[in-house]
Amino acid sequence: MSLPMKRLLIALSCAMAALSAAAQSTPPDDALYRALGGTPGLTKLMADFVPRLAADPRIGEFFKETKLSELQKQLVDQFCVVSGGSCVYEGETMKNSHAEMKIRKADFNALVEVLQESMDRQGIPFSVQNRLLARLAPMHRDIVNTR
Ligand code: HEM
């Protein structure tokens, strides 16, 4: 191999090493996802949360026609995405899926309370709970659609 060719190859491999180092030094922020126990943790959380939601005396009625196993799956994917995990959420937007349901602020708050209880039951630390809730809170704009 000619010297210029050798130099070119060395330069190329240095550039590639630099690129992969840069990729490693800026990982995606999945800290919250990991704090929630990753997909296994979220799967356990939703397995507790969804049945309790459906049984809740305040808002259980909303879920009487819902296929709970499907909702559970969508929620695992959605919470994975929201917390920074590398999942794909294939469900509807929050606006479309809750349109026409006449959800009030009080209903939204009741759901958040059930979620907090489920997170307590899973031993999720308070600070982690709050970080998740902070990411969910803005969704009320698309979900709450009546007074
Ligand atoms: C932060 C709050 C909430 C989040 C993150 C959330 C998330 C979701 C997701 C991901 C779905 C599945 C969408 C799909 O299948 O494509 C869904 C469906 C549903 N949500 Fe919510 N939701 C929230 C609040 C509420 C509230 C407050 C209620 C009522 C009290 C509610 C009632 C429902 C019902 C009944 C369905 C099922 C619709 C069906 O049967 O297809 N949600 N929600």
C-beta 129 within 6 A of ligand 1:
no
What value does the mean pLDDT take over residues 12-21?
Answer: 57
Condensed to tens digits (0 to 9), the pLDDT of residues 17-49 reads 555 555 556 667 999 999 999 999 999 999 999
Query: Which alpha helices (H) appear in 60-125, and where do they start and end?
Result: 68-82, 94-98, 105-121
pLDDT at 11 (0 to 100): 61
Mutate to test the pocket of ligand 1, among 98, 100, 142 (most ligand atoms within 8 A of CB): 98
C-beta 77 within 6 A of ligand 1:
no
Query: Which residues, in sequence order, are CB contacts of 139 under 8 Å at separation 6+?
Result: 94
pLDDT at 21 (0 to 100): 56
Task: Tokens 């180092």: give the residue.
Answer: 21
**Out of 12-26, 49-63, 103-117, which region has the weakest mean confidence (pLDDT)?**
12-26
Query: Which residues, in sequence order, are CB contacts of 38 under 8 Å at separation 6+?
Result: 85
Condensed to tens digits (0 to 9), the pLDDT of residues 60-91 reads 999 999 999 999 999 999 999 999 999 999 99
C-beta 89 within 6 A of ligand 1:
no
C-beta 92 within 6 A of ligand 1:
yes
Query: Please, what are the domains in the chain?
Result: 28-143 (1.10.490.10)
Given a cut of 90, whether residue 115 has pLDDT beyond it is yes
Cα 53 to middle of ligand 1, angstroms: 10
On whether the CB atoms of residues 76 and 69 are closer than 8 A, the answer is no
C-beta 71 within 6 A of ligand 1:
yes
On whether the CB atoms of residues 124 and 36 are closer than 8 A, the answer is yes
Q: In whole angstroms, what is the distance from residue 24 CA to residue 78 CA? A: 25
Cα 24 to middle of ligand 1, angstroms: 36
Report whether 98 belongs to an annotated binding site: yes
